[in-house]
Structure 1
Amino acid sequence: GGNTIYSSSAGFNYNIAGIGRDDSSNLNQKQSKTENTASDITVGLSTIEATNSDNSSTFTSDRNFLVWGNNNATLASQSPIIVNMSAGISGLTTNVDFVSVGRIWRVVETGSVSKVKVSIPSVMLTATITPPGDFLMFISSSPIFSPTAEYRIMKQVGSNLVTDYDFNGVKYITFGYAPERTFVRSVTFDGTDDYLDAGNVLNLNTSFTVSAWVKRNSTNKTIISKRNSAFTTGYDLKINSGGFAEMSWKNGASTQTITSTVVIPANIWHNVAVTFDGSTAKLYIDGVLNVTGSKLPATANTESFLIAAADGNTPTSFFNGTIDEVRVWNSELTVSQLRYIMNQEIYQHTDSTVNGRILPQSVTLNEVKTIPWSTLQAYYPMSTYTYTNAKDESNNDYTASIRNLTTVDYQTAPVPYITNA
């Protein structure tokens, strides 16, 4: 007798489909969708192509399968799942929510199937939409989806919504929408397991600027990074073991590092910025140039961009303290430009240039009105959220998923800066 790869007694027996490899029967199905209806998910090994034969992905070994079916429940919206992202901050509430459809899919892995691409027609989720916001796929070990359930952000590709996930064992998934919620906040990280993950985005340009407001509680911790834990690839902006601001990046096998000559004091807000023009790096503390050095450009990599940690696969170097106003640019900003927007949140002006939220564009000596908004590669003001995701306010929409975090905090960074008359 053979082995069961999908149990019909589980109650998820509608529109069953699957992918897998079975050498004895010459099965090599790399992508699949039920033939019964267009309104269902498509799953492909690594990718989804026009046909199965066009998918060049390979299963690692014989008798690996991934099979799924659904419970045929309604596609109407359900009661929202609500999370208070400030549950760890006394007296502060930051409620975000997620609205799913009623239908649930059961996904069963036999053997070991690597990461797959999941696609669903966007019209299946129209009952849940209250734009603006993000579509999400929720994942759970049971048919109950709690506020701590895992999820993936879905991106629009043509008429479909797609995401990637590596299923292990038996999982249940559903789909829905998280409306945008806006608060005046920063994010406090516990130094143990809190971080934000934007995925494989934000390789450094040949010329770049990165900056953030930080209030550190300890040392040797990452502010932003896109590297592996061994740091054989990528880049990292951190507070080093001595309390100095430090940015390092890999150029091939060589490490390029610039380190401040002054300690960043604990429990006090400071702005840390690094600019690079392709050959010269500059490190600024609170808009004041501290260190200059000749460096080589950064080499691109496939790691995840993280805020408050390093290495998306096995996170480490967790930041202990508060971070706000993270910005990544694909050009070198001048010291005047840095200072002009350092103490302001920024937004896209009607002429598609950068503008500060406090000073009007018409102000004399506006240092940023010639900078195209498209130069801004990512901008996390930590104020707009879709469920437990921090919105990237740049044109790229590199939403960052919040991991293990209940301390979205009051905004206390000096943004906007207020002076006494």
Structure 2
Amino acid sequence: MYQYGAADVRFGQYVSLGGQCPLDLSGSASYAIGFWVRPRVPIYDGKLLASGSAWYLGLHGLRLTFALPGMSRQVSELELRPDVWQYVLINFVSTGASAGNYTVYVDGTVLIQGTQSNLGRSDTPFVLGMSSDAQFFNVAFWSAARSGDQLKPVWDVPQPDPTLVACYSFSDGGSADVSGRNLGNASLMNGAQVVMLAPSLRLVNAAVQPSPRDNLTAVANGGHFSVQAWFNLDASSPYQSDTHALFSCMDSVSNQGFMLGLSWSNNAYDLTIEVRAPSGGGGWGRLSQLPPGGWHHLAATYDGSTLTLYQDGELVMTIPGLAMPTLEKPVWLFGSQFKSDSPGAIAYNFQGHVQAAGLWSRALSASEVQQYMSQDPSDVDGCVAYYAWNGLALGNQVTGNPPLFQNTATPALVATLPSDSTPPPGVASSTQQLKSDPPLPSAQLSFAQPVSFPEQKLVTQDQAKSILASLEPLVATLPESMREQFRSLSRDNLYQGLARVGASGSAPVGAFTGEVQGDQFVFFHHTARGKVEAGRMQLTAAISPCVGWIVTVAATGFSMLLAAFGVGFAGAKLISPITEAVTESTPLLYAVKDVAESATLDADSIIRIIKAFYAAGTLGKIFGAVLTGGWFTVAANCALLMVQVAALWATGGAYVAIVILQLLANFAMFLYAISQRPAGC
């Protein structure tokens, strides 16, 4: 399963990192400290990391504070985001005895910087917390300043380095120094603890239905299949059925099919199986008595005659002589089961979390069941669906198609003690289990050296300067200390994007293109594996290749906005809803056309396109279609994105600046789409 450890510190609790200070903090030597932090609530004048009383990095509300011995603290202009992992790097460059330059980065963006002399010493061991409420991951100390690519956020344990003097990862549920220097274990004080965090999908009176595009026939065709998933169940509610379906595939006409789940009995869960078939089928159970609140794994395999069940990787039941029915109209669900006599024909009876759910069109061996408890099987022969549900990518990782969320399923994070996290059989500790995908940084990274204007075919240097000049009204809203840095970051991001996209004549990875084929306009999304068809549009008198080009521009602008928020997508999921939105709305068609044909191309063009979709009332539909697969389905995980999109023009200043930096890194893709204008348009 996907999980990783973190130090969990509440107000009044703290973690002492080893028995000595691993760095020279006097100012006479350079050093760097990097760590991931997830603040839960604002803390006024609290400390995140400290050495003694005078050296500390803290919080004033959610704004970072930094102080060195002999200087007054500095406070950042920007706030950290609550309940989100962010990478903090403190970089100190010594300039002589007791003097140096300090910089505090968050996700690669400078928040605090300055110069200080006459610094005092601190030899006290570092402490996490004491007056904060946060979680910490991969706290690393270097005896030299970082530079270049070393400033970038890295989720994994830092690579071996002669200057790496200590690292407290907590990722394996332990508190040891994993740098190889054996500085000494971290001491968890006053109730501080290491917890295991598992990103997952929260299902409470909800369900997940695989996309109809996947056309899943496993289980439904009466042949061989396997299914498995990790689950974490809440205590059963008195207002629900005692049966909690983890996986089901039922026929909507005959009500025949298969259900695997758990049944609440004596304040614990027992395994339950139900098969409805023309030959009779039946129901089976096993006294498991699993208490609520812990992670467990359930798997079933069927070889054509015998159904075999595994709990936490161990064989617990075999049901021989079983004939599975062939289903005419199967309804395939996680977290519920089809019932024609229930409201909406779905019995929402699961209360908990699900992760790493997979479906195969063949029977797995016992060793394979154990193997794929901790390995991604999406490229394994016979795997037809795999949902990790451990990050922003919620779709089937075999096909890329997103599932449909019924009755609102939401991404969530489950915290358990290391002793309560069930490792796969044969794994001595959780260190060998897969960790979650790294959190995406909130802003583009600083560049070690200025990026020069590249050779490319999209814009001249004067046009690039005009694009950057269009940002000046936004720059004016920023704190004065950030303005020059924003200008340089904007220039470097734009130039890097131009070099990546406009350096060759072929379409770059990520681009959308289109061509006329007979009476249709065919869209292509260019990937690392080549171009793939992303959608088709029927050509009529009102829909021409020019409209196809406008749709491409709109889709590119939308994809840039999704990339700015760190949301992954496949091109085929984007073109279809945007084609429908544009061709159904004449005002929207003209609004996008005006932007695409504008003589002034600036960094706000993408936002102007999104505003047009917002005004046309199609924004929610498109987000719903891209992220959940249904034109009118807007799941809860879309809601926050929509609020953020609306905030782009409802608020200003630093928030918009960070998003613009993200857009500028890919703005060249937008210019490329506009440059593909067909003749005569």
TM bucket normalised to smaller: 0.3 to 0.5
Q: TM-score, normalised by structure 1?
A: 0.45
Q: TM-score, normalised by structure 2?
A: 0.29
Which protein has the larger Cα radius of gyration, Structure 1 or Structure 2?
A: 2
Could you say which structure has the higher strand fraction? 1
Higher RCO, 1 vs 2 (CA within 8 Å, ≥6 residues apart): 1
